[in-house]
């Protein structure tokens, strides 16, 4: 579910609520959620320690632990980190609970159970293969352009490839390609210089807007995005093409189409985003 703006919103919320409190108990109800350790080892490493900082890398949440470990979490499709108080009780999809000394409980909730925790002293082992952070200093146009020229893959597949650029998912990719007026199936090495530049800027624009709106919450089911305070985002109200199948393009009024690209539902305007020969 969550892409860069959603994870950023979650991290900002968590930072205010759980730092520097001792972890006094950990319940593990679904141990496959922990990728690197047994539930027993996971508990013994984290118990009586504390989270001293929380940062984000791409779609990963990095909890910096006082004992020099990093607890890295990827939410995949439906993972949520929910901050609750003393008397809240874990329910069906709450797979791990961290109890803090002040009574705060951190629930890891995940309907589809795809999310994973990685506990490691070497962050690079988990994060090392990621491409540049699109809102960071390492996202440089000359390098972006050079890398686009190096592959014939469909541009949508390239943008979803976390080793090419880290943090985009299905929603923000469709939005960025619409803003740059590029067809999602356009080969990456056949995009004009001006459209490459437009795409470079569009990626940053859609992510910044997503963060400003505190993420995109689609629908109202269990698996939809919510922040650590269980609040919905507002970015769904500003989308131009994603989930707008059959509606008029905000730019040209033509009907937004939906196709499948790289196994993902893909929304675009056939007038604004033409495939170039």
Partner DNA sequence: CCATATGTTACTCG
Partner DNA sequence: ACGAGTAACATATG
| Active-site residue set | 2-3, 59, 264
Helices 141-149, 193-212: inter-axial angle, 10-degree rounding: 120
* Closer of 86 and 112 to DNA (Cβ): 112
Give residues 129-158 in contact with DNA (rule: CB under 7 A): 151-154, 157
Is residue 170 close enough to count as binding DNA by CB under 7 A?
A: yes
Residue 138 C-beta: closest distance to DNA, Å: 18
CA 240 to chain centre: 19
Residue 119 · residue 36 · CB < 8 Å: yes
- Give DSSP secondary structure letters for 198-252: HHHHHHHHHHHHHHHTT----SSSTTS---TTS---SGGGG-SSTT-TTSBPTTT
Q: Name the minimum Å distance from CB 97 to DNA.
A: 17
- Tokens 């919320």 correspond to what residue? 13
Using CB under 7 A as the binding rule, whether residue 179 contacts DNA is answered as no
Please identify which residue in 26, 90, 218, 271 interacts with DNA, judged by CB under 7 A: 218
Binding residue for DNA (CB under 7 A) from 26, 45, 66, 77? 77
257 lines the binding site for DNA (CB under 7 A) = no
User: Does residue number 33 form part of the binding site for DNA (CB under 7 A)?
Assistant: no
Minimum CB distance to DNA, residue 100 (Å) = 27
Cα torsion 223, 226, 232, 233 to 10°: value is -110
Indicate which single residue of 96, 171, 180, 199 sits in contact with DNA (rule: CB under 7 A): 171
Considering CB under 7 A, how many residues would be counted as binding DNA?
Answer: 41
Helices (H) and strands (E) in the chain, counts: 7, 10
CA 18 – CA 55 distance, rounded (Å): 13
158 contact partners, CB below 8 Å, separation of at least 6: 148, 151, 164, 188
Question: Footprint of DNA on this chain (CB under 7 A)?
Answer: 1-3, 6, 32, 58-59, 74, 76-77, 92-93, 111-114, 151-154, 157, 160, 162, 169-171, 187, 216-219, 221-225, 260, 262-265
């Amino acid at each position: 579910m969550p892409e860069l703006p959603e994870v950023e919103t979650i991290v900002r919320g968590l930072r205010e609520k759980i730092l520097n409190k001792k972890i006094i108990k950990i319940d593990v109800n679904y141990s496959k959620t922990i990728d690197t350790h047994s539930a027993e080892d996971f508990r013994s490493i984290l118990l009586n320690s504390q989270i001293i900082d929380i940062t984000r890398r791409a779609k990963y949440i990095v909890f910096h632990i006082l004992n020099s470990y990093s607890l890295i979490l990827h939410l995949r499709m439906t993972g949520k980190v929910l901050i609750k108080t003393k008397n809240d009780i874990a329910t069906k999809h709450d797979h791990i609970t961290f109890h803090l000394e002040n009574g705060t409980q951190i629930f890891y909730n995940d309907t589809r159970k795809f999310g994973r925790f990685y506990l490691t002293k070497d962050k690079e082992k988990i994060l090392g293969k990621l491409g540049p952070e699109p809102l960071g200093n390492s996202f440089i146009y000359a390098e972006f352009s050079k890398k686009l020229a190096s592959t014939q893959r469909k541009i949508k597949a390239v943008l979803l490839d976390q080793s090419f650029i880290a943090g985009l998912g299905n929603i923000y990719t469709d939005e960025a390609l619409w803003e740059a007026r590029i067809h999602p199936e356009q080969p990456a090495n056949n995009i004009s210089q001006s459209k490459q530049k437009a795409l470079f800027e569009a990626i940053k624009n859609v992510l910044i807007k997503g963060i400003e709106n505190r993420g995109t919450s689609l629908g109202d089911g269990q698996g939809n995005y919510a922040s650590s305070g269980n609040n919905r985002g507002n970015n769904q109200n500003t989308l131009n093409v994603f989930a707008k199948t059959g509606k008029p393009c905000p730019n040209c009024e033509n009907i937004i189409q939906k196709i499948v690209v790289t196994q993902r539902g893909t929304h675009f305007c056939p007038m604004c985003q033409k495939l170039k020969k």
